[in-house]
Amino acid sequence: MLSVISLEDEVINLDFIKGFTFGYMSKRGEWETDEAKESLRILKERCAIDHVVLTVVAEQDHPQSISIHWRNHPNVVSDHEIISMIEYARSLDLKVILKPMVNVSDGTWRAHINFFDTDVPCEPKWSEWFEAYNEFILHYAKIAEKLKCDMFVIGCEMVNADRREQEWRHLISRVRKQYSGLITYNCDKYQEDVLKWWDAVDVISSSGYYPIDAWEEQLDRIERVVLKHDKPFFFCEAGCPSWEGGEFLPNDWTLRGKVNVDVQKRWYEEMFRATSKRDWVRGFAMWDWKAQLYPIEMAEENQDYAVYGKPAETIINQFYRDIAEFK
């Protein structure tokens, strides 16, 4: 449960989030299927979650494009599907965090979306991109308000855009006029102490793709940020692929070693061991659970971040079940 003591006084009590990211890269129509809803039901059953992060992914053509394709686009789930999935999640007693995201169609990671700091005639501009991004985010903020989503994520891993502090503050102020719930920004790994505008959001969150042998060091660094701003924190993404070597560079989805599901299991065990000692870590939204599941008998052959049918799934289930006794 997410409970707000006083947003005006910036005193927020965030109950532990036992979450998972669902539906990343789903195309229009895929959330309308019985298969997608069954996948969400299975997720709750097998991983003992109480929160789901629903991702709505739009794209721009290249890193310097100022147009974001999301209205009636075949690669973006429809508003009707989003509303239906939120309502279905609620029927499962899940709390919902809505997370609109932007990807780049040419395969460039969204962190590299970038423009000149100073406007130059005949060149694409930050002002033009943020105008398009505001329109995109505000549309889903209205849905989040209408459906009373428990949290709204205004952006994800936009590393180069992060430095545009005033544009983000302006967007947050506009979102607050549309949405009355908790607002977070999902910064990228290693960026927690770089971002300059944490005071503008309600909850600090980041992507926890840290090497298996670096958790203590990174948590020490993040802890200083959390204490400085006196705000709740959770990992809005966290996960590890199922290939050899993946535990040492879990953020690099382009690497492909030999399938090894035990690597993923060990990584989750270490993350939970390290974070359990930090009371300020108020939960996770694991990465990720697809709307269309692979056959469970194929789990041992799957290299991806998915945990369905893998040893890591049991680790997550047990942690989420146990954590309720202590948090």
pLDDT of 326 over the 80 cut: no
Are 324 and 294 contacting, i.e. CB atoms less than 8 angstroms apart? no
Task: With a cut of 70, say whether residue 137 has pLDDT above it.
Answer: yes
* Residue 5 predicted with pLDDT over 90: no
Q: Chain-wide mean pLDDT for the chain?
A: 95
Q: What is the pLDDT of residue 58?
A: 98
> Which residue would you say has higher pLDDT here, 13 or 240?
240
Please give the pLDDT value at position 325. Answer: 52
What count of other Cβ atoms lies within 10 Å of the Cβ of residue 123?
A: 11
DSSP track, 23-62 = -TTPPTTGGGSHHHHHHHHHHHHHH--SEEEEEEEEEESS
What is the Cα–Cα distance from 153 to 17, expressed in whole angstroms?
Answer: 14
What average pLDDT does the segment 121-131 reach?
97
Q: Is the pLDDT of residue 153 over 50?
A: yes
Determine the average pLDDT of the residues in 48-67.
98
CATH topology of domain 2-323: TIM Barrel (3.20.20)
Kindly state the average pLDDT of the residues 219-243. Answer: 98
Give Cα separations from 64 to 13, 43, 110, 262, 319 (angstroms): 39, 37, 11, 40, 42
What percent of the chain is modeled with pLDDT above 70?
A: 95
- Range 188-198 average pLDDT: 98
Residue among 139, 137, 152, 69 at smallest CA distance from 104: 69
Predicted pLDDT at 257: 84
Q: Which of 188, 196, 203 is nearest to 237 (CA)?
A: 188
Q: Please name which of 251, 269, 248, 258 lies closest in space to residue 305, comparing C-alpha atoms.
A: 251
The arithmetic mean of pLDDT across residues 45-61, rounded, is 98
Mean of pLDDT values over 205-222? 98
* pLDDT score recorded for residue 255: 76
pTM: 0.95
Rounded Cα gap, residues 161 and 155, in angstroms? 10
**Is residue 50 scored above 50 in pLDDT?**
yes
Please report, rounded to a whole number, the percentage of residues in the chain having pLDDT higher than 90: 93
**263 pLDDT above the threshold of 70:** yes
* 83: nearest Cα among 54, 61, 111: 54
CB 129 within 8 A of CB 104: no
Res. 2: pLDDT tops 90? no
Mean pLDDT over 236-255 rounds to 93
Q: Is 281 helix (H, G, I), strand (E, B) or coil?
A: strand
* The predicted structure's pLDDT at residue 8: 43
For the chain, give every domain's residue range: 2-323
